[in-house]
Amino acid sequence: MAISTANPHKQKLGRTANSWRKIILPYLFLTPLFVVNFVVILGPSVASIFYAFTDWSGVGKAKFIGFSNFVRLAADPLYFKALEHNLLWMLIFLTVPISMGLMAASFLSSIKRGQMLFRLAFFFPYVLSPTVSVQIWRYIFHPLYGIGATLSNNFGWQWANIKFLSNTKIVLPSIAFMDNWQWWGFLAILYLAAMQAVDTELYEAARLDGASRWQEFLYVTIPGIRPTLGFTLMMTMIWSFLSFNFIWLTTGGGPAHASEVLSTLLYQKAFQSFEVGYAATIGLSMSLFCGLVTLGVIYLRRKGWEV
Amino acid sequence: MKTLFRLMAILLVASQLLTACGSKATAPATAAPATAAPNATTEPTAAPIEKVKIVIWTEPVLEANRTMLQTEFVDTFNAAHPNIELELQFQENIDQVERTALQAGSGPDIVFTPGPAFALEYKNAGFILDLSKYAEKYAWKDKVVNWAYDSGSIEGSLYSLPLTYETMILYYNKKVFTEKGWQPPTSLADIEKLCGEATAAGLNCFTNSNQWWKGVNEWLLSVVYNNYAGADNVYAALQGKKPWTDPLFVQSTQILKDWMDKGWFSGGIDNYFAYNYDDIWNNLCGTADGKAPTAIMNIEGTWAFQRATPFCKNDWDWVELPSLREGVKPGYVLAIGSTLGINAKSQNPDASAEVLDWLVGDTTRAAKIIEGFNFGEWNVPLHFKASDFSADADPRLTRFVEFFATGTGSGNFGYTTWTFWPAKTDAYIIQELDSVFTGDLTVEAYQQAQQDAFQAELAAGKVPLAPETKSVSK
């Protein structure tokens, strides 16, 4: 019988050292990310809470003014106008791209030939940078050279030359349309992947029970992709309060605040009006709204909802 | 093997950590000693020249002008100053980038601002140096036109030198005017008659729009304030002696609202909010592919000189903006489009001052740069003579230099909002005029809000110094 000559004490130490390495190593790898996160995100976030209580122009020292910025926010009609626009934006993005994405994914899941081509076509706008997308749509909507203007000039269709980006009544939905063009394809691919994970036997069982196509979609597909659908609904609500790039690049929140949202108002106050303290207050309110959405989701999960 | 892999992984992570924490901001220059090539013999070598690097940040310019600036400004300076290496860096969104850098104690040696109001903010924050000792050493007061020199003075000390001076003028399509038998307007009545005739002929009166630059709003407001209310009344308001709610200012803004309602700005607000910069000039002068002009005049600043000829060839000319009220003398409104100061954290303020003196010290060299920009940018306000400019210079532009010098030299000048208004009030003027145009804000409410914002900034000492005009309105 072979007798082990290894020192059991050293063996125990070796196993403990190995365990410690396994515990510490992941943290070591996470440390750089944490440091960058702290410096770039967490630190400034905490600082912005402080600046929300100050009158600060962005240069020099900040003057503490207590709750004055919050009082001003509560009475600022422009703030509420921007908030209203964010809620409208949320309504648009909770309905249009999600229903388009679901519909496209549902049809895509039932075709085999050419599916990759459609997936590429739907996803392509998503890989473009917002700057490029905005430029494309600016030319499409251009009042002199755009599609509407061309139809008007060549065929006399005056009704076609709609000033989408300068008409205060339709500018916000127009920008939402531009953003949706870029966004819905991503959702379609996401939902397609989720639908492909749904057990096909459920569809067979439904068909055997006489379910129509629509009923299959409603009672098999939707419940089957509920976690993905819930996630995209939650993130859409949060992102609706943070939407900035398309609006800023297209109209800067104008004309006459017709497309103003909280993020563009924050940007203007911080970088154009030298009111960084007040901008920080607006930022805090945006965090509050996002936090409320998150809390709502956590509450629903506790109630057993799969979101 | 496992241990080696772990060690490599840790080193990789550590290197990423150092990279992530690295700063890309340009710090004020530090001395970089230049070394001479070693001699082959054993003779003692000359002491190496200790070269300092000076960095200027400025806003982007057209590519051709970058090359011109490098040749006429940077290279000439470096050749004349072997102990200094000057570097010009162009920054997008320079206001925000520079403000962030300065706040972090970094930034270039020579600080660019888009006007005296910004320079005042930077001075209050301790970002820029008092240049008084350099002003005395280099006699800048004698080199720079008085009103422009004074615009950089705060509480009796100089903090910035003007880089670009500009004013508002009226560009018009000379060819269309000739064809129609029109004359450039010299009064409000002339404008109304001309705009009426243009509209009847299917042409827009003014080609202005603000889709591409919201600041167009303040150009227009500066013009009506000075040419209707009168430069002396504007000066009084800037001193806090007249409110911005005075009927003269209310009526000035109402003029803009009325013109917008009549469709005189590009045909109405839908186009005013939609046309980009190329559209403005194509509308004024037609397009390269033969599309006819659709507007006859453009209210814009002299920075647009560099655009006018490329778009309009010889079909354009300019006139002074007319008086809009009897008893108000027309004149040029003063504007400093940008200034240069020295970063308080610069390690080489003396060398930086030498660069500033190179900019304002020689009228022939400055004239060459101005011609390179077609009088659009970097036109430092010096005491120019006609002989400073080349024989090839566009006579329309040399006429401007001469007329401007004569007009403002006699004390007849007005004030632009971006030079003489405090920052927050100026921001309000720009942002909210749109709401006046759409009818969402009354003119009276707009003026009242201006007054409230201005009073707060006046009390806080944030109104830039303004030279007193000699223009008197009845």
pLDDT digits (tens), chain B, 474 positions? 556 556 655 555 444 444 433 333 333 333 333 333 334 444 455 556 678 999 999 998 888 889 999 999 999 999 999 999 999 999 998 988 999 899 899 999 999 988 887 888 899 889 999 999 999 999 999 999 888 888 899 888 999 999 998 999 999 999 999 999 999 999 999 999 999 999 999 999 999 999 999 999 999 999 999 999 999 999 999 999 999 999 999 999 999 999 999 999 999 999 999 999 999 999 999 998 889 999 999 999 999 998 899 899 999 999 999 999 999 998 899 998 899 999 999 999 999 999 999 999 999 999 999 888 888 789 898 888 878 888 888 889 888 888 887 888 788 899 999 989 998 999 999 999 999 999 999 999 999 999 999 999 999 988 988 889 999 998
Q: Using an 8 Å CB-CB cutoff, list residues of chain A that contact chain B.
A: 21, 25, 28-29, 31-32, 35-36, 39, 57-61, 138, 142-144, 163, 165-168, 251-252, 254-258, 268, 271-275
Is B19 within the bounds of a domain?
no
Mean pLDDT of A167-176: 96
The CATH number that domain A68-302 falls under is 1.10.3720.10
- Whose tokens are 């002003």? That residue is B135
Using pLDDT thresholds of 50, 70 and 90, give the confidence band for residue A9: low
Q: Between chains, do B122 and A59 touch, taking CB under 8 Å as contact? A: yes
Question: What are the residue ranges spanned by the domains of chain A?
Answer: 68-302
Please name the member of A31, A256, A271 whose beta carbon is closest to the beta carbon of B437.
A256
CA angle B296, B298, B303 (to 5 degrees): 145
Asked whether residue B119 falls in the same domain as residue B222, the answer is no
- Same structural domain, B297 and B183: yes
Same domain, yes or no, for B126 and B243? no
Compute and round to an integer the Cα radius of gyration of chain B: 25
Q: What is the count of residue pairs from A and B with beta carbons less than 8 Å apart?
A: 94
Same domain? For B317 and B346 the reply is no
CA distances in angstroms from B158 to B128, B149, B414, listed in the order given: 10, 8, 22
Could you tell me where the DSSP H helices lie in chain A?
8-37, 43-51, 68-74, 77-109, 115-127, 130-140, 147-155, 171-196, 200-208, 213-216, 222-224, 226-242, 245-250, 262-271, 276-302
Q: What is the pLDDT of residue B66?
A: 92
Residue B339 domain-assigned (yes or no): yes
Residue-range definition of the domain harbouring residue B376: 51-165+335-391
Q: Which residue do the tokens 């080193």 mark?
A: B11
- Give B121's contacts in chain A (Cβ within 8 Å): 57, 59-60, 274
| A112 Cα to chain B: minimum distance (Å) | 44
Q: What is the dihedral of CA B23, B26, B27, B33, to 10 degrees?
A: 110
Cα separation, B277 vs B282, whole angstroms: 9
A91 band by pLDDT with thresholds 50, 70 and 90: very high
B78: in domain: yes
Residue B271 sits in a domain of what CATH number? 3.40.190.10
Question: Between A305 and A293, whose confidence is greater?
Answer: A293
Q: What is the mean pLDDT of residues A93-104?
A: 96
In angstroms, rounded to a whole number, what is the distance separating the alpha carbons of residues A258 and A81?
9
CB-CB neighbors (< 8 A) of A268 in chain B? 427, 431
CB contact at 8 A, B93 and B392:
no
Query: Is residue B474 one of the residues assigned to a domain?
Result: no
DSSP B294: -
Q: Do A35 and B17 touch (CB under 8 A)?
A: yes
Strands B413-415 and B332-342: parallel
For A177, other C-beta atoms within 10 Å of its C-beta total: 16
Inter-chain residue contact B273 with A165, CB threshold 8 Å? yes
User: The dihedral of CA B89, B92, B95, B101: what is its sign?
Assistant: negative
Find, among A198, A219, A197, A196, the residue nearest to A207 by Cα: A219
Q: Do B63 and B193 sit in the same domain of this protein?
A: no
Chain A: nearest CA to B21, how far in angstroms? 7
Tell me what percent of the residues of chain A surpass a pLDDT of 70: 94
Number of domains composing chain B: 2
Band the pLDDT of A144: cuts 50, 70, 90. very high
Q: What is the pLDDT of residues A48-60, one digit of tens each?
A: 999 999 999 888 8
Q: Please say whether the beta carbons of A65 and A277 come within 8 A.
A: yes
- The verdict on residue B22 lying in a domain is no
- Cβ-defined contact of A59 to B127 (cutoff 8 Å): yes
Chain A hits for B424, CB-CB cut-off 8 Å, are 273-275
- Give dist(CA A167, CA A189) in Å, integer: 34
| Interface contact flag, B434 A255, Cβ < 8 Å | yes
**Is residue B305 domain-shared with residue B204, that is, in the same domain?**
yes
Residue B471 in contact with residue B413, Cβ under 8 Å? yes
Report the residue of chain B nearest A270, measured CA to CA.
B96
d(CA A203, CA B318) in angstroms, rounded, equals 76
* Residues B373 and B319 placed together within one structural domain of the fold: no
pLDDT attached to residue A304:
81
Same domain, B326 and B370: no
B97 and B149 fall within a common domain = yes
pLDDT at residue B355, as a whole number? 97
Confirm if B130 and B153 have CB atoms less than 8 A apart. Answer: no
Q: Note whether A256 contacts B438, CB cutoff 8 Å.
A: yes
Asked whether the beta carbons of B162 and B148 are under 8 A apart, the reply is: yes
Q: Taking CB atoms and an 8 Å limit, are A163 and B423 in contact across chains?
A: no
pLDDT in tens, A149-163: 999 999 999 999 999
- Residue B178 belongs to some domain of the structure: yes
Both B174 and B308 in one domain: the answer is yes
Q: Which tokens in the block code for residue B9?
A: 């992984």
Tokens 């976030």 correspond to what residue?
A45
Beta pairing partners, B299: B170
Strongest mean pLDDT among A16-25, A201-210, B428-437: B428-437
Indicate which of A33, A39, A138, A166 best probes the interface with B, i.e. most B CBs within 10 Å of its own CB: A166
Query: Does residue B244 belong to the interface with chain A, where contact is any CB pair within 8 Å?
Result: no
Which of A172, A183, A181 is closest to A252 using CA atoms? A172
pLDDT at A306 over 70: no
What was the ipTM of the complex prediction? 0.85
Residues B198 and B340 in one domain: no
Q: Which of B211, B271, B284 to mutate to test the interface with A (most CBs of A within 10 A)?
A: B211
Do residue B261 and residue B207 come from a single domain? yes
**Mean pLDDT score of chain A, rounded to an integer?**
91
Q: B39 at the A interface (CB within 8 A)?
A: no
Q: How many residues does chain B have?
A: 474
**Rounded to 5 degrees, what are φ and ψ at B467?**
-70, 145
Nearest CA in chain B to A39: B21
- Residue A239 has what pLDDT? 94
Average pLDDT over residues A207-225: 93
B176-185 contacts at long range (C-beta below 8 A, 24 or more positions apart): B176/B203, B176/B293, B176/B296, B176/B315, B177/B296, B182/B296, B184/B317, B184/B319, B185/B322
CB < 8 Å to B427, chain A: 268, 272-274
